[in-house]
A and B are shown apart, each in its own frame.
Chain A
Amino acid sequence: MIPLSGNLDSAKGKVSEKVGPSSITRGTSTLKRGFAHMLKNGVVMDVTTVEQAVIAEEAGAVSVMVLDKLPSDVRKAGGVARTASIRVIEEIMDAVTIPVMAKCRIGHVYEAKVLEEANVDMIDESEVLTPADELRHIWKWDYTTPFVNGARSLAEALRRIEEGAAMIRTKGEPGTGNVAEAITHIKKVNEELRLIKSIYDSGDNQDLIRMAREFKVSFELVEQTAKLGRLPVVNFAAGGIATPADAAYLMSLGCDGIFVGSGIFKADDAKERARAVVLATTFWEDADKVKEAQRMIDERQSMLGLDVKNLELKMQERGTA
Chain B
Amino acid sequence: MSVSIGVLGLQGDVAENIVAARTALGTLGIKGTVKQVKTPDEISALDGLIIPGGESTMMGQMSLVNGALKVIKEKIQSGMPVFGICAGLILLSKNAKDRVVGKMDQPLLNLLDVRVERNSFGRQKDSFEAEISADSIGIPKTKGVFIRAPSIEDMGKDVQVVSKFNEKVVAVKQGNILAVSFHPELTHDVSMHKHFIGMIKPKK
Residues of A that sit less than 8 Å from B by CB: 1-2, 4, 19-28, 30-31, 34-35, 37-42, 57, 60-63, 93-99, 116, 119-122, 144-146, 278-279, 282-283, 289
Contact = CB atoms under 8 A, between A and B. Distances in A.
Interface string B149-176: 0000000000000000111000000000
Contacts of B40: none
Interface residues of B, number: 46
B125 A35 contact: no
Interface string B52-90: 011101100110011000000000000000000011000
A41 B14 contact: yes
Nearest to B58: A60
A289 B10 CA distance: 13
A144 B124 CA distance: 9
A282 B129 contact: no
A1 B11 contact: no
B19 interface: yes
Contacts of A120: 123-124
B128 A37 contact: no
B11 A145 contact: no
A61 B124 contact: no
A35 B128 contact: no
Given A21-B166, A99-B124, A146-B124, A37 B57 contact: no
Contacts of B1: none
B128 A26 contact: yes
9 A-B pairs with least C-beta separation: A121-B124, A24-B128, A41-B11, A37-B13, A24-B130, A62-B55, A97-B98, A60-B58, A1-B19
A289 B68 CA distance: 15
Interface in B179-204: 183, 186-187
B61 A60 contact: yes
Contact of B11 (A24, A27, A57, A62): A62
Contact of B101 (A26, A35, A94): A94
A39 B12 CA distance: 6
A282 B104 CA distance: 23
Interface of B: 9-16, 19, 38, 53-55, 57-58, 61-62, 65-66, 86-87, 98, 100-101, 104, 118-119, 122-131, 145, 147-148, 165-167, 183, 186-187
A121 B148 contact: yes
Nearest to B60: A60
A62 B58 contact: yes
Contacts of A278: 58, 62
Contact of A97 (B10, B11, B119, B186): B119
Output the residue of B16, B65, B124, B130 with the most chain A CB within 10 A. Answer: B124
A144 B58 contact: no
Contacts of A19: 128, 166
Contact of B130 (A25, A37, A38, A40): A25
Given A60-B58, A278-B62, A38 B119 contact: no
B57 A25 contact: no
Output the residue of A1, A2, A31 with the most chain B CB within 10 A. Answer: A31
Nearest to A28: B129
A22 B148 contact: no
Contacts of A30: 129, 145, 186-187
A61 B58 contact: yes
21 contacts: A19-B128, A20-B167, A23-B131, A35-B147, A35-B148, A37-B16, A40-B13, A41-B9, A41-B11, A94-B101, A97-B57, A97-B104, A98-B57, A98-B58, A99-B55, A116-B125, A121-B125, A122-B124, A145-B124, A282-B38, A282-B62
